Amino acid sequence: MSELHRTVDSWLREGRPEPMSPAVREHLDGCAPCRAALAEVEEVGGWFPDPPELLGPESVEAVRFRLLAEARARRDQSPPPSEVSRASWPRVAAVAAAVVLVAGAAALVLRLMSGHQEARGEAAPLAVVRPAPGAVVRQLESPPHEVYRLVDGSASFSVRKLAAGQTLRVIVGEDLIVVRGTRFRLQARSGRLEAVEVSEGLVSLLLGDSRELRLAAGQTWRRDPIAVARRAVADHGEEGDGAGLDAERVTPATEEVTRPAVPRRTRRPRAPAVVDSPAVRGPGLDQAFHEAWGMLRSGDPRAAAARFDELLRRPDLGERRADVLFWSARAHQDAGQSSVARERLGDIVRSHPGAWHAAEARSALGEASAADGGTR
Partner 1 sequence: MVMGEDVLRLRSRGQSAPPLSDEALARACAGGDPGAASALFDRFRGPVARTIYRLVGGGSDVEDLVQSTFLEVARGRSVWDDRASVLTWLLAIATNVVRHHRRATGRRLRLVSAMAWARAEERPAARPEARIELARAQKALADLGEELREAFVLCQLEGLSAREAAQVLGTSEAAVWVRVSKARKAIRAAVLGDEP
- Residues 165-204 touching partner 1, rule: CB under 8 A, are 174
Q: Residue 95 or residue 228: which is nearer to partner 1 going by CB? A: 95
Backbone dihedral angles phi then psi of residue 181, each to the nearest 5 degrees? -35, 120
Amino acid at 207: L
- Residues 210-269 touching partner 1, rule: CB under 8 A, are 210
Q: How many CB atoms lie within 10 A of CB 241?
A: 12
Residue 288 contacts residue 311 (beta carbons within 8 Å)? yes
Stretch that binds partner 1, among 51-59, 191-199, 246-254, 327-335 (CB under 8 A): 51-59
Stretch that binds partner 1, among 44-52, 144-152, 303-311, 319-327 (CB under 8 A): 44-52
Q: Burial code of 73-92, b = ≥16 C-beta within 10 A, e = fewer? A: beebeeebbeebeeeebbbb
Residue 147 contacts residue 169 (beta carbons within 8 Å)? yes
Check binding of 49 to partner 1 (CB under 8 A): yes
Check binding of 47 to partner 1 (CB under 8 A): yes
Which residues have C-beta within 8 Å of that of residue 341, sequence separation ≥ 6? 328, 329, 330, 332, 333, 368
Minimum distance, C-beta of residue 2 to partner 1, in the bound complex (Å): 11
Count of residues of this chain found to bind partner 1 when the rule CB under 8 A is applied = 42
Q: What is d(CA 235, CA 91) in angstroms, rounded to the nearest whole number?
A: 8
Minimum distance, C-beta of residue 316 to partner 1, in the bound complex (Å): 26
Q: Burial code of 210-224, b = ≥16 C-beta within 10 A, e = fewer? A: ebbbbbbeebbbbbb
Stretch that binds partner 1, among 10-18, 119-127, 340-348, 356-364 (CB under 8 A): 10-18
Stretch that binds partner 1, among 63-71, 182-190, 312-320, 333-341 (CB under 8 A): 63-71
Minimum distance, C-beta of residue 280 to partner 1, in the bound complex (Å): 17
Beta strands 145-159 and 167-171, pairing class: parallel
Note the residues at the interface with partner 1 (CB under 8 A): 1, 13-16, 40-41, 43-45, 47-51, 54-55, 59-60, 63-64, 66-68, 70-72, 74-75, 90-92, 95, 112-113, 115-117, 174, 210, 274, 276
